[in-house]
Amino acid sequence: MDRYQSEFAFELRTCRWVERHWPPDVDESAGGDRAIVVARQLGTKRRRWDTIVLECDADALRERARFGAKRLDGDLRHVVRNAPAEWTYYRDCLPHPGYSWRYVREAIHEADDRGVLDVRKSGNRIEIRRKWPYPEQWVDRVVAIENKPDLDASAARALGTQLEYDVALGLADEVWVATRKTGDRVEPALFEDLPVEAGILALEPETLAGEVAWYPRSLAVDEPGTRITERPTGGRRDDSAARFEYVDPENKRETRLGIAERAYERGWRSFVETMRPDCRHFELRARAGTQLEPYCAEKERCPTAAECSGNCAEYEPEPPAWRTRAWPIEGGPGKRIQQLLADRRRRRRPGL
Ligand code: SF4
């Protein structure tokens, strides 16, 4: 069986390719002041993307690293962004958040615990002072990639609807489809009914050779977006109109930043957090000496994230004796595996 048959295995290869080669067609020796962060399975309540690429300014990314590896959620961002350079009573410097001050106080205490804000008591009053300015522009661009190794007509139809949603909303700067490279003169994905705004990346997962089959258009992230909330089914008796709602640019900007913060925290190696590395059959296999891929010794292949869960009939806990020894990469116990992947994620966050 093709080891990258499943979308999950293919998705991990796409993430790896992106980590090494993004942006496509740019001279890699140019290096310089750009940096990228890759994550997977993130988005909004209504739409989750397979792979997310954050294109960042390298210096700004280092400034973001001062705030730690964990995400800053909306409440924390409200506090660290508005904290002044001098000690001030928090209600005098923070704009009213539009919700109870109680949540603001909780966020202040959390920021204090994390060491990203100076906090002191003056009588009954909580005073705050910023440690560093929050780098508002640490993310320049957000790119979303959908992975479909086998893009047949029906897969393209389903994907087309999702991509139309992305294009209308304009939350990501670019949307792409990554599909398996066929080697044909014209990639078959180009004949499928996908929005012209979406780019197509033809990827050979085994060798990690990628080629742009179609370049995307940049989406209008700074303009109001249109969220498609309902579509007519398109049947003969259905003459209803699609329903939309508008999303203002400020709302989009905050949503993008929220996604970026989560992407920064999770990265793409977080797959191990939803799998069972504590199963005795779970292994991390080094691919081409570098990429660590999950492998199930029982199934003799990369398991999907859904398979490798608490419902797996073949799950067997690792023997307690394993936990007392230092194991090598392949076949190691769960904790060591998690640590290894966390270390790799950390290495991709300059300044941490
Ligand atoms: S046997 Fe099941 S739980 Fe264990 S590694 Fe394989 S897929 Fe995961």
Answer yes or no: do 45 and 141 share one domain: yes
User: How far, CA to CA in Å, does 2 sit from each of 13, 292, 300?
Assistant: 13, 18, 12
Judged by average pLDDT, the poorest of 20-29, 43-52, 296-305 is 20-29
Tell me, yes or no, if the pTM score tops 0.95: no
Using the predicted structure, report yes or no on whether residue 324 has a pLDDT greater than 70: no
Answer yes or no: do 105 and 157 share one domain: no
Answer yes or no: do 12 and 151 share one domain: yes
Most confident of 71-75, 150-154, 270-274: 71-75
Comparing 5 with 121, the larger pLDDT belongs to: 121
* 67 found inside a domain: no
Answer yes or no: do 56 and 184 share one domain: yes
Answer yes or no: do 282 and 150 share one domain: no
* 68 found inside a domain: no
Report how far ligand 1's centroid is from the alpha carbon of 316 (Å): 8
* 283 found inside a domain: yes
Mutate which of 295, 315, 322 for ligand 1 pocket (most atoms within 8 A of beta carbon): 315
Instruction: Supply the residue whose CA is at minimum distance from atom 4 of ligand 1.
Output: 315
pLDDT of residue 188: 84
- CA–CA dist 344, 352 (Å, integer): 12
Domain end marker among 237, 266, 295 = 266
pLDDT of residue 351: 83
Q: 205: which 2 tokens?
A: 């997962």
Answer yes or no: do 50 and 89 share one domain: no
* Residues 229-239: b if buried by 16+ CB within 10 A, e if exposed: eeeeeeeeeee
Comparing 208 with 26, the larger pLDDT belongs to: 208
* 220 found inside a domain: yes
Asked if 349 and 65 touch (Cβ cutoff 8 Å), the reply is yes
* 202 found inside a domain: yes
Answer yes or no: do 178 and 228 share one domain: yes
Give pLDDT tens digits for 157-191: 889 999 999 999 999 999 999 999 988 888 888 88
Orientation angle between helical segments 74-82 and 249-266, nearest 10 degrees: 100
Q: Average of pLDDT values for 62-72?
A: 96
Comparing 325 with 199, the larger pLDDT belongs to: 199
pLDDT of residue 31: 56
Report how far ligand 1's centroid is from the alpha carbon of 180 (Å): 26
Report how far ligand 1's centroid is from the alpha carbon of 175 (Å): 33
Instruction: Supply the residue whose CA is at minimum distance from atom 8 of ligand 1.
Output: 308
Using the predicted structure, report yes or no on whether residue 332 has a pLDDT greater than 60: no
- CA–CA dist 90, 105 (Å, integer): 9
Count of the separate structural domains present in the chain: 3
In the structure, which protein residues have their CB atom closer than 6 angstroms to any atom of ligand 1?
276, 279, 281-282, 296, 298-299, 303, 307-308, 312, 314-315
Answer yes or no: do 150 and 285 share one domain: no
Asked if 216 and 199 touch (Cβ cutoff 8 Å), the reply is yes
Domain end marker among 234, 266, 298 = 266
pLDDT grade for 248, boundaries at 50, 70 and 90:
very high
Judged by average pLDDT, the poorest of 8-17, 119-128, 206-215, 270-279 is 270-279
Domain end marker among 89, 110, 130 = 130
Q: 133: which 2 tokens?
A: 């300015």
Orientation angle between helical segments 74-82 and 101-114, nearest 10 degrees: 80
Judged by average pLDDT, the poorest of 92-96, 263-267, 275-279, 328-332 is 328-332
Three-state secondary-structure class, residue 42:
strand
Comparing 2 with 325, the larger pLDDT belongs to: 2
Per cent of the chain over pLDDT 70 is: 90
Range of the domain at 88: 73-130
Mutate which of 274, 282, 322 for ligand 1 pocket (most atoms within 8 A of beta carbon): 282
**What CATH number should be reported for the domain holding residue 113?**
1.10.10
pLDDT of residue 234: 62
Answer yes or no: do 184 and 153 share one domain: yes
Which residues have C-beta within 8 Å of that of residue 246, sequence separation ≥ 6? 224, 225, 226, 227
* 2 found inside a domain: no
pLDDT grade for 328, boundaries at 50, 70 and 90:
very low
Answer yes or no: do 179 and 319 share one domain: no
Which residues have C-beta within 8 Å of that of residue 237, sequence separation ≥ 6? none
User: How far, CA to CA in Å, does 126 sit from each of 15, 57, 75, 94, 96?
Assistant: 44, 35, 17, 12, 16
Using the predicted structure, report yes or no on whether residue 94 has a pLDDT greater than 60: yes
- CA–CA dist 327, 329 (Å, integer): 7
Give pLDDT tens digits for 287-309: 665 678 899 999 999 998 889 99
Answer yes or no: do 172 and 310 share one domain: no
> Helices H, strands E: what count in the chain?
9, 13
Q: 152: which 2 tokens?
A: 């047949």
Asked if 254 and 75 touch (Cβ cutoff 8 Å), the reply is no
* Residues 156-174: b if buried by 16+ CB within 10 A, e if exposed: beebbebbbbbbbbbbbbb
* 328 found inside a domain: yes
Per cent of the chain over pLDDT 90 is: 63
pLDDT of residue 236: 63
pLDDT of residue 286: 78
Q: How far apart are the first and last CA of the chain?
A: 40
Answer yes or no: do 49 and 165 share one domain: yes
Three-state secondary-structure class, residue 325:
coil
* 89 found inside a domain: yes
